[in-house]
Structure 1
Amino acid sequence: MDIERLRDLLGKVKNEELDIDSALEKLKTLPYEDLGYAKIDHHRAIRNGYPEVIYCPGKSLEHIKGIVKHMIEYKDNNILASRASKEVYEAIKEVTDDAEYYELARTVVVMKKDIPKTSKKILVVTGGTADIPVAEEAAVTAETLGNTVERLYDVGVAGIHRLLSKTDVLMQANVLIVVAGMEGALASVVGGLVDKPVIAVPTSVGYGANFGGLSSLLCMLNSCASGVGVVNIDNGFGAAYLASMINKLSGE
């Protein structure tokens, strides 16, 4: 971090040469911490509202441990590591005892402080049980970001009565994340029932012509229901991040 620049800003605030809001805007552009193998963006929470998240695939265990160690030392923020294996979790446990592993979600969360939960709910809905790993990634991420989350699993269109029997649950949600593979029709059905934003997550679940999730992605992109937005295949994290932003914005 540019210590001299920070001291200069604090001095100007103290001498009333700069107001607090203007100083905060300038803090947003302060440098990152360069570890050589990673550049940690400590000020992302100031700019975007949430701290930087660690995407684990492709990173060595030593690099992940180093990133977590420096993030903990810098500030008492909660840390989320996505697409994490049990091996990654064990490595992070060598750095801190505050780590918890959500195996279905493939997510490690290091909780350093309690975050007040929103009064408005994010509802995570799945077509089938095979979609639950992606749904849990979304649910755990949204909870870690300070949202009240409810789950409604295995209510796909193959047995549409299961979904229709839970319309009261759908209506109570402020934002809905709909996770489905195969042809991905569930997002359109939910979008046609509610008056809240629906974030559709296509999954790679399906037989050969599913093309690894491409069929559900295209189906969701072509939804005739209004108010349905789509993230990338299996991107539960991205859906949760967007849902959290919407949920907290409407809460204000």
Structure 2
Amino acid sequence: MDADDLRALTARVANGSMSPDELVERVHLDAVADLGFASVDCARGARTGVSEVVYGAGKTAEQIAAIVEALRGRGQERVLVTRVDAPKARRLADLGCACAYHDEAAAVVAGELPDPTGNGEILVVTAGTSDGRVAQEAALTARFLGNRVRVLQDVGVAGIHRLLAHVEDIARAQVVIAIAGMEGALPSVVGGLASCPVIAVPTSVGYGANLGGLTALLAMVNSCASGVSVVNIDNGFGAAYQASLINHLPGRAFGCYTREG
């Protein structure tokens, strides 16, 4: 159940087709689905505005299929499952779980992606092609949450002219997600160009002293640019979720330009 479902139920109370007690019972019954191996939060959408997203790593295809069925059976229109590899996605299809697999993002989506409802555009920027999987997870998550998204790949500071060619895209953005491994310098540079919040994502891409993304993480946490916040290593989902919250704040419009059409 999400916010739209709750509004529909309250409208039934208002027109007399449902009693207040029936509404309370319905919300209570839909709150948690106990599957034995998982307690599925079916009321998260009504509570927070965003329905539950499933973390697929460490779960079997059978478990994922059961969770998706529980969520959709209680009225959740769409479900995002992150960190799903191709063999697990094929097994989901064999089980009859109607999900679309997004290979580049390593995620599956049950249901259709919504039309954008945010205030503006979320810009996803990567330092290198090797950061692409994290970027695609972020882009898909942002689209799933109802945002217009643009992705700029391979515009890191090692060839900073590639980034500077997109200063207008940065200026138009409502939120920028800056993704980088190695020494993690990209978000600081973007932060000096953007008038909107910048969410930095360190990746595990890099040689030995990158320490699996720890070097990039510490560099981003110590950024000298104002307006830069940081999520965990390789956490494209978390960055996109935060970006979507910002992009849906009432009456908030960042950026120096507006895009027509």
Q: State the 1:31 CA deviation.
A: 3.6
Paired residue type of 2:142: A
Aligned partners of 1:207, 1:160: CA distance in 2, in Å?
21
Residues 67-123 of structure 1 show CA distances to partners (whole Å, capped at 9, x for unaligned) of: 112122111411100000112222332455642111111010112574444351000
Q: Is the contact made by 1:86 and 1:103 (CA closer than 8 Å) also made in structure 2?
A: yes
| Distance change in 2, residues 1:81/1:12 (3 Å) | closer
Shift of 1:162: 0.7
Residues 212-231 of structure 1 deviation map (CA, whole Å, 9 limit, x = unaligned): 00000000000000000000
CA distances 1:180-229 after superposition (whole Å, capped 9, x unpaired): 00010000000011110000000000000000000000000000000000
Change over 3 Å in CA distance of 1:226–1:201 after alignment to 2: same
Report the CA distance between 1:57 and its aligned residue: 1.1
Aligned length: 241
Question: 2:152 & 2:231 partners in 1: Cα distance?
Answer: 19
- What's 1:92 paired with? 92
Cα gap change, 1:44 to 1:35, in 2 (>3 Å): same
Q: Secondary structure at the match of 2:226?
A: coil
> 1:209 maps to which residue?
209
Matches within 5 A, 1:22-41: 27=27, 31-41=31-41
Q: Where in structure 2 are there 5+ consecutive unaligned residues?
A: 2-8, 253-261
Specify the SS of the correspondent of 2:89. helix
Could you say if the C-alpha distance between residues 232 and 114 of structure 1 is closer, same or farther in structure 2, counting changes exceeding 3 Å? closer
Runs of 5+ in structure 1 lacking a partner?
Answer: 2-8
Tell me the TM-score normalized by structure 2: 0.84
Structure 2 CA distance for partners of 1:12 and 1:244, relative to 1, 3 Å: closer
1:132 aligns to what? 132
8 Å CA contact 1:69–1:95 kept in 2: the answer is: no
Q: How does 1:42-191 map to 2 (within 5 A)?
A: 42-94=42-94, 96=96, 98-112=98-112, 114-118=114-118, 120-191=120-191
Cα root mean square deviation, aligned: 2.8
The answer to whether the Cα contact below 8 Å between 1:77 and 1:113 also exists between their aligned partners in 2 is no
Is the CA contact 1:120–1:251 (under 8 Å) kept in the aligned structure 2? no
Amino acid at match of 1:185: A
Change (3 A) 1:49 1:190: same
Aligned partners of 1:81, 1:16: CA distance in 2, in Å? Answer: 34
Supply the AA of the counterpart residue of 1:181: G
TM-score by length of 1: 0.87
